[in-house]
Structure 1
Amino acid sequence: MAKMIRKNYLMAPGPTPVPIDILLEGAKDTIHHRTPQFDRIFAEAVKGTKEVFRTENELFILASSGTGAMEMALTNIVNPGEKVIVCTVGKFGERWQEIAKAVGAEVALVSGEYGDFYTPEMVEKALKENPDAVAVFTTLSETSTGTVMDIEGISKVVKAAGKLIAVDGISGLVAEPCETDKWGLDIVVTGSQKGFMLPPGLAFISVSKAAIEKAQNTKTTSFYFNLKKYLKDPLPWTPAVNLIYQQRLAVEMLLKEGMENIWARHAVMGKATREAIKAMGLELFSKRPGNVLTSVKVPEGVPGGKIVSIMRDEYGVTIAGGQGTMKGNIFRIAHLGYMSDYDVVIALTALEKVLRKLGRHVEYGIGAQVAMEIFEKEGV
């Protein structure tokens, strides 16, 4: 039996693949961060990142994961004892809730089951029932389920109520449209290892004038993530110097492609993956699937954990399993960041191979055929 060369394909929703040019950028000499040379690099990285965020608001680069930016959002605009509305239909909505409780905030929930979504009407109802809430915390793309929310519509009802809105855009930003200023979003957070095509280690947070005003009257419960310090000096602590080299190049590459083109690319990959999954006789999990990843119900009689482990360990294709209550019940195929039509096809064909190995009959090539027909129709 011939033994094939093993290649690895990263099709998980973070970390995502990193272009070679960006990897090499990180190999440059580390320079001191308190120099004019680094000031220029940092300023260019911030400027480009603001363009990706579609904002003129203040934007800060943090040496942390995206969760650090979420904590910064909460600790700077919410005093202990103040009420917030947290919207959650998955693990990362739950993270907003966990951080809010750690801050000492009172939490009113807009919640649903994993795979579900919340609507502007649901948020509006919560605002009427909780007029003393100071802010609403939402998620653009719930990474644990692949569900995308109507942030534009939700922001309208939040702004009409005169409240602040914060958005977890950690997996959604770049892949999904997110118009920070046009939609009136007060805080948007994300991480480097998703749509930005970077290694893990950076987080980004944009902060509106209204959010800054609230922060000036908030007793910040964090030392490291103290917004007042960042407003005085955007580099209050030693930054991740080489990652910021990479960030500057990454946003240059994104803006050269164009945000509208990037959103369209993700939309086509998302559509092709979803239709291919259905053609394979499998069922989508999310009730409002987005273009970051596709979550799929594990077929009856097939061990969900083995789908993920065999694809990774035997065939070199890394996808993600379910999180929280969905562990073993779903698997997730990402089409996020530095990915193309051929990456999608590789993931689909590997999935067919694994399902057949686990006793689920799937016609070879049916997923790839459907996906390629969609790519062809869309002019890819």
Structure 2
Amino acid sequence: MYENILRHPGPTPIPKRVELAMNHNIMSHRSAEFVALYHETINKVKPIFGTKEDVLLLPSGGTAALEAAAVNTVAKGEDVVVITVGAFGDYFVSICERYGFNVHKLEKSWGEACTAQDLAHFLVGLPPIKAVFMTYNETSTGILNPVDELAKVVHEHTDALVIVDGVSCIGGVEAKMDDWGIDILVTGSQKSMMLPPGLSFVALNQRAWQVIEANQTEAYYLHLLSYREWAKQGMTPNTPTVTLIYGLREVCKLIEEEGGIAQSAARHTLMRDMTRAAMKALNIPLLAEDAYASPTITAIKAPQGIEISTLLAHLKQHYHIDFAGGLGSLQGHIFRFGHMGYCFPSDVLQAVSLIEAALQDLHYTFTPGAGVIAAQEVFLAAHK
């Protein structure tokens, strides 16, 4: 049985070095050895978030971290703004509504980004807002919101916290949490962080902690004040994912060896540009505009005359490469090419060549090799 090449937007491939690190002998999460591992790893993680503040590790998927960010900062009946540009922005809406927050939803069409002007206009006339929730990288559409600009608008017009979902991009884009005025930044392990699912991250500044301390949350497992107190000791309040923390330390070393998060972000931007150039050369439409296109995932529309489901099934069955389909209203209309984490320009060239092979099999009219050549030209131009 052949192993499929995973080009999903998560989970993503895991480097062999990280796999080997996770094979380390298990140890007690209350031992001195674990405390040393915890402190070392957290110090290595902070530059990836662009912060000198607290970064907490939760033994959970990213959704739990999003929920923790919400339930620890906002009380029932308080007003919040949620910016949604796709399926994962809608996650924040659902979480906030479940806890009884008064949600003001700034909704953009799927495939569009939220601009600073959109947000400034939306905030006019609203009651006092406790928090503004936004998605940095919208996985369902391949949109990268300008969270630096959005955070500035929030601080200019309100006293609200800026809470950002960075699940599908942290590790693959630059994040300057402290400089941009982001109060809480969340991500998960299984995307650009090059780990299996099961570990999430919540980075918080002192402004966020002041709000959390004043908020009487009902959370128990997701009680962030408890995580903060245990973190001072180099531990977590509940049993952590010890093996993933071993792996996380190795991921941080890989990013350091590459040249830091700026270089990792540059690699992801290059892969985005290669992918988009290839699709344009093949006359296959893209969902997002160039200005707001994600460096970690590209949403690609159906080639003329070919069903998305047929193309994806053919690619997986005959060429052993696995892409993701669309979500929600985009199901059957797009497929999603994940180029994040443990992915390199050579992987993009491989994937494009296999897409071309499948297109020829399905009798799509194009110049063979056009996509590969376009992607290769972008790559070569970046290395001149």
Segments ≥4 residues shifted beyond 6 Å = none
Q: Could you say which residue in structure 2 is the equivalent of 1:178?
A: 175
AA aligned opposite 2:277: E
Q: Could you say which residue in structure 1 is the equivalent of 2:340?
A: 336
Describe the SS at the equivalent of 1:295.
strand
Cα distance change, pair 7–229 in 1 and its aligned pair in 2 (3 A): closer
Q: Which moved more, 1:163-172 or 1:249-258?
A: 249-258
Q: Could you say which residue in structure 2 is the equivalent of 1:290?
A: 294
Instruction: Tell me if 1:308 matches 2:312.
Output: yes
After superposition, the C-alpha distances for 1:85-138 in whole angstroms (9 at most, x for unaligned) are 000010000000010011111100111111011111111222222231111000
Contact 1:110 1:126 in 2 (8 A): yes
Contact 1:103 1:221 in 2 (8 A): no
Q: 2:119, 2:173 → 1: CA distance? A: 21
After superposition, the C-alpha distances for 1:159-198 in whole angstroms (9 at most, x for unaligned) are 1122210010001212222100010100000011111111
Normalised TM-score (structure 2): 0.95
Instruction: Tell me if 1:268 matches 2:270.
Output: yes
Q: Could you say which residue in structure 2 is the equivalent of 1:320?
A: 324
Q: What does residue range 1-380 of structure 1 map to in structure 2 within 5 Å? A: 6-160=2-156, 161-234=158-231, 235-257=236-258, 258-287=260-289, 288-379=292-383
Describe the SS at the equivalent of 1:182.
helix
Describe the SS at the equivalent of 2:194.
coil
AA aligned opposite 2:61: S
Normalised TM-score (structure 1): 0.96
Q: 1:37, 1:175 → 2: CA distance? A: 30
Q: CA deviation at 1:222?
A: 1.9
Mind listing any 5+ residue stretches in structure 1 that lack a counterpart?
A: none
Matched-pair identity in %? 34
Q: 1:264, 1:307 → 2: CA distance? A: 30
Contact 1:186 1:210 in 2 (8 A): yes
Q: 1:103, 1:308 → 2: CA distance? A: 38
Q: 2:295, 2:81 → 1: CA distance? A: 26
Q: CA deviation at 1:9?
A: 1.4
* CA RMSD, Structure 1 to Structure 2 (Å): 1.3
AA aligned opposite 1:14: G
Paired residue total: 376
Q: 1:366, 1:221 → 2: CA distance? A: 57
Q: 1:191, 1:8 → 2: CA distance? A: 23
Q: 1:130, 1:312 → 2: CA distance? A: 49
AA aligned opposite 1:273: T
Contact 1:84 1:106 in 2 (8 A): yes
Q: 1:177, 1:27 → 2: CA distance? A: 30
Describe the SS at the equivalent of 2:68.
helix
Contact 1:85 1:126 in 2 (8 A): no
Describe the SS at the equivalent of 1:174.
coil
Q: 1:375, 1:192 → 2: CA distance? A: 28
Q: CA deviation at 1:299?
A: 2.5
Contact 1:52 1:255 in 2 (8 A): no
Mind listing any 5+ residue stretches in structure 2 that lack a counterpart?
A: none
